[in-house]
Amino acid sequence: MANEKTKRLVISREFNAPRKLVFDTITKPEHIIHWWGPKGFKPTVLKMDVRPEGIFHYSIEAGEFKMYGIFVYKEIKAPELLSFVNSFSDEHGNITRAPMSDTWPLEIMNTWTFTEKDGKTTITLSGMPLNATAEEQATYEAAFEGMNEGFKGTFDQLEDYLAKL
């Protein structure tokens, strides 16, 4: 899996919404289609089965570009914790290499925690590659700044969506 030298991506963001609602927007297809993915992309839920070893298989598209991803859920403690292995995939849910890099890790272990204080919820996500080569780990670590920017845009969309609920 990982060793003590493996660096994790850690991002936290506070939302002005109760924890259960925030958790639901991430685990229910009727919500996630309104905000998931990079800005300018339209998400489609192909399958969402939120239980241990269940999957979330999705596509995101912008114009002619379309790509697929898959989560395999590992642990769910609603509304406190969500852990899953995330990968790029094909339209059938088979794990594939990332379209942007031949050295991107095939699997990323993600743990998202949800804490609530005074009606506001903080999501803290932590991610690291699983079974990655040194080159894949280096590619992942070199992308921290870009992933921070990408999640900022995605979480901006979540914040906008939550404001409408």
pLDDT tens string 31-69: 999 999 999 999 999 999 999 999 999 999 999 999 999
* Overall number of domains in the chain: 1
CATH of the domain at 86: 3.30.530.20
147 within a domain of the structure (yes/no): yes
Find, among 78, 103, 77, 75, the residue nearest to 88 by Cα.
103
In a domain, 1, yes or no: no
4 domain-assigned: no
* pLDDT score recorded for residue 1: 43
DSSP string, 96-115: E--TT-TTS-S-EEEEEEEE
CA pair distance 85, 107, nearest whole angstrom: 6
**Residue 98 belongs to a domain:** yes
128 closest CA partner among 9, 3, 22, 4: 9
Domain-located, residue 3:
no
In this prediction, residue 5 carries a pLDDT of 60
pLDDT, tens digit, for every residue of 64-100? 999 999 999 999 999 999 999 999 999 999 999 999 9
Domain interval for residue 18: 9-164
